[in-house]
Amino acid sequence: MLQQIKQWIARRRAGITGNIAPENTPKPKTPGDQLLTECRLIVLDLETTGLHPGKDEVIAVGAVAISVGAIDLSDQFDLVLRRPELDITQTVLIHGIGPEALTQGHETEDALLFLLEWMNGDPILAYHSAFDQKFLEKTLKAELGYTQNHTWMDVADVLPAFFPDAKTGGKGLDHWADYFGLEVSARHHAASDALATAELTLIALNKARKEGLKTLRELHDKLRYHRRLRNIHHN
């Protein structure tokens, strides 16, 4: 995949890709009549320096794509962004891509542009997505001036919506991963957590199909209903 990014950046540097400006990246899609069995979904996880979007920064982005109901491992995103101002060595900015291959200073922008292009405007799922959404939106705005709204869905809402009776012993990713017996290869590694989240999403989508849910909108509505129900109980 790094090869892909390198090539993409090289093309961009050489002006072959044309002028991809943030405003020219693919338009975010809204949940409509796309069939769940056919559409592409992004499952994403961020690694950050801390919990506060105000002062903390994104370290790494890991994401996989679910296409036609399966995780396609040839279509994934796994990149460590070390922000220069946070990095003591200030050299290797994009992990694995040597500084010699890049002109220092623009790596984060390029990587984020590539992420936007790769996501293709498809809906984004994440575990406790509000957190990832805030960080990603903040970073995109700061680096690229990008402010478009993407469709986000929280897998932490999706699971209890489809498995209301599951005794997971908690609400975390680990609780659900344990509940379904998943093996997470490297917990807290962005890409690895993204894959675990995607696997849980597949389990939920399988259940959704059996409950007769067909479209992205139906899924979106079910989540909204479920969230409202939960809020009522909490109040």
Partner 1 sequence: MAAANQDTTRPQNTRAIMVFLQSHAPFSNMDDDHLARFAEHATLRFYADGDVVLSTEDGIVDKFYVVKQGRIRGERHNEKADKTETTFEISQGECFPLAAIIGERPTRTLHRAAGDTFCLSIEQDAFITLISESEPFRDFCLRGVSSLLDQVNQRIQTGAMASMGSSISLSTPLERYALRNPIVCNPDLPVRKAVARMHENNVGSIVITDDVRHPIGIFTLRDLRTMIAEETCSLDEPVGQIMTKNPCYLPVQADAFDAAMLMAEHHFAHLCVVDEHKRLIGMVSERDLFSLQRVDLVNLARTIGTATHIRTLVSLRTDVSRLVDAMLAHGADSGQVVKIITTLNDVTVRRVLELNIKKNDPGIAFTWLTFGSEGRQEQTLLTDQDNGILFQTPEGMTDDQVREKLLPFARTVNDELAQCGFTLCKGNIMASNPKLCLSDHEWDDWFIRFIDASTPQNLVYSSIFLDMRAVFGPTDSLNELLDKVLARIQKNALFQKMLAGNALQRKPPLTMFRNFRYVTDGKKHSLDLKRQGLAPFVEAVRVFALANGVKNANTLERMSELVGKGIFDDKDANAWKDAYSLIQAIRMRSHQEMLERGEELTNLIDPNDLNPLDRRILRESFRQAQRLQQKLEITYQL
Alpha helices in 64-154 (DSSP H): 107-119, 129-144
Residue 165 found at the interface with partner 1 (CB under 8 A):
no
Closer to partner 1 by CB, 155 or 194: give it: 194
Question: What is the C-alpha to C-alpha distance for residues 46 and 58, in angstroms, rounded to an integer?
Answer: 7
Interface mask toward partner 1 for 118-137; x: CB under 8 A: --------------------
Asked whether the beta carbons of 47 and 190 are under 8 A apart, the reply is: yes
Question: Considering only residues 13, 207, 217, 226, which one is a binding residue for partner 1 as defined by CB under 8 A?
Answer: 207
With CB under 8 A as the contact rule, which of the stretches 49-57, 124-132, 140-148, 200-208 interacts with partner 1? 200-208
Interface mask toward partner 1 for 49-88; x: CB under 8 A: -------------x-x----xxxxxx-x-x----------
Would you give the DSSP letter of residue 68? T
Would you give the DSSP letter of residue 150? P
Asked whether the beta carbons of 76 and 44 are under 8 A apart, the reply is: no
**Which residues sit opposite 46 in a β-bridge?**
61
Closer to partner 1 by CB, 30 or 192: give it: 192
Residue 183 found at the interface with partner 1 (CB under 8 A):
yes
Asked whether the beta carbons of 155 and 219 are under 8 A apart, the reply is: no
Residue with tokens 């991963």: 177
Question: Considering only residues 11, 52, 95, 224, which one is a binding residue for partner 1 as defined by CB under 8 A?
Answer: 95
Question: Considering only residues 28, 138, 180, 223, which one is a binding residue for partner 1 as defined by CB under 8 A?
Answer: 180
Asked whether the beta carbons of 81 and 209 are under 8 A apart, the reply is: no
Helix (H, G, I), strand (E, B) or coil at 126: strand
Name the residues that contact partner 1, by CB under 8 A. 1-2, 62, 64, 69-74, 76, 78, 95-96, 98, 100, 180-183, 185-186, 189, 191-192, 194-195, 198-199, 202-203, 205-207, 210
